[in-house]
A and B are shown apart, each in its own frame.
Chain A
């Protein structure tokens, strides 16, 4: 039985609860988003539609309207942003990592690359990338893979895994386990060596690196910030990632990413075509 005099009655408990509200921690949403500080050059406060920082193990799920830019900033340089993306209006259409790399004839992501859906359309364009080391191969960590490294990997443990974080994000939009498609991981690079061997790049990124994604349709994104499955460190290490989204113009017909290759041009044509009817 509690003997705390501060919460011994409902009204005292209310006051106690209300007194907490001004607490500031490093990983939290900025509400309203227009009060976010340290914005990217040229971005005005009124254009910010979402600002949130994820600490190690945190996740979020959010819809970005077409034309929205999402900047993911690797604040201290050691984040791993696990990312899934869906057509928000019709989430049976989702990221297809195999098509993303096969259609662009390259396994690695970077500035100018597209993140494609399984319907031959563009979900997201990578319009900026100061890091250059990302992963399209290894997928999410799991309860088992985290348990092997950290002793525990359950969602409720201090070492939550990316797959469970994805599941929770998806469940909040009425989706479920079946919808956890193969994903990508930002800020942690993996390279394919001679003979197909996988090499994890330990220092893939530096403080302040950012990736900027442009939504080419209304996109549901799910982001977790958890240690990469091939990160060999046995201490659960993941520094905060900041997500800042702001309005921007629709992609022009002569956009350099759109016209970069015949494949990208057709992917944008298919996306345009989707919105016609």
Chain B
């Protein structure tokens, strides 16, 4: 990777085994091995990174938003959050978070839900579910493997009467999260292409993923 980034790899501890910029609107997937750390960087700010995790050895075990929220009795993901699987195992741990709050109830945008939220004119716009399906297809997986997801850098408050919505982001250029893998984890990311709500500031931008291995 030769592009200039707000954060240089030298700022990262450990040996860099992967450093990749996910272009605007694009999907990405990769296996983060147990003990490795995945850093996801919001390069230009207010860019939602939709994310699903699978046990690389047995993808029927996958991220569960419900179990993650139940384990910490809180809907927001932050420093220290254990990202739980449907089997009740810790998949990854949030070991650094320069933002402070991420969403996991808002789901992933889809062509179909866009028609409900914004109107039928949005049917053929890019959407995270398309990205997820495409990327799962590269791993001999498919729609049955769609499940709950994380929205890194996305802001979904819930008010006292239950009112919720994707609102203006609280992220900024260079904000990042570090995820320590507790198992070999297939991470699938959709760099959210949504242009009808504030989750990307109405302007999708790149994300950067860096995988490091602790030295020694």
- A residues with a Cβ closer than 8 A to B are 92, 96-99, 101-103, 105-108, 116, 118-121, 137-140, 142-145, 163, 177-182, 191-192, 195-198, 229-230, 263, 266-267, 270
Contact = CB atoms under 8 A, between A and B. Distances in A.
Contact of A107 (B64, B117, B146, B158): B158
A177 B75 contact: no
A96 B162 CA distance: 18
Contacts of B119: 266
Highest count of chain B CB atoms <10 Å: which of A102, A143, A267? A102
A103 B144 CA distance: 22
Given A106-B161, A139-B64, A118 B110 contact: yes
B66 A137 contact: yes
Interface string B97-126: 000010001111011111111011000000
Given A118-B110, A182-B148, 4 more contacts: A97-B107, A137-B105, A139-B67, A263-B116
Interface stretch (B16-24, B30-38, B163-171, B179-187): B163-171
Contacts of B149: 98
A121 B86 CA distance: 26
A148 B164 CA distance: 32
Interface residues of B, number: 44
A102 B106 contact: yes
What's the dominant secondary structure at chain A's contact region?
mixed
B76 interface: yes
B73 interface: yes
Contact of A181 (B70, B113, B147, B162): B147
B69 to A, nearest CB: 6
B207 to A, nearest CB: 21
Nearest to A110: B162
B144 A145 contact: no
Contact of B112 (A118, A137, A163): A118
Contact of B166 (A102, A116, A143, A163): A102
B163 A138 contact: no
Contacts of B10: none
A121 B112 CA distance: 8
B88 interface: yes
A182 B107 CA distance: 11
B143 interface: yes
B74 interface: yes
A143 B107 CA distance: 25
18 contacts: A96-B107, A96-B113, A98-B149, A99-B110, A101-B105, A102-B113, A102-B117, A102-B166, A107-B158, A118-B110, A120-B110, A120-B111, A120-B113, A143-B88, A144-B87, A145-B88, A179-B144, A229-B70
Contacts of B111: 120
A270 B158 contact: no
A103 B114 CA distance: 9
A142 B87 contact: yes
Contacts of A143: 88
A178 B110 contact: no
6 A-B pairs with the lowest CB-CB distances in the bound complex, closest first? A98-B107, A139-B66, A120-B112, A108-B162, A144-B88, A178-B144
B13 interface: no
Contacts of B162: 106-108, 191-192
A182 B145 CA distance: 12
B65 interface: yes
B146 A118 contact: yes
A197 B73 contact: yes
Contacts of A99: 107, 110, 113, 116
Nearest to B158: A192
B70 A198 contact: yes
Given A137-B75, A181-B147, A198 B69 contact: yes
A52 to B, nearest CB: 26
Contacts of B117: 102-103, 263
B88 to A, nearest CB: 4
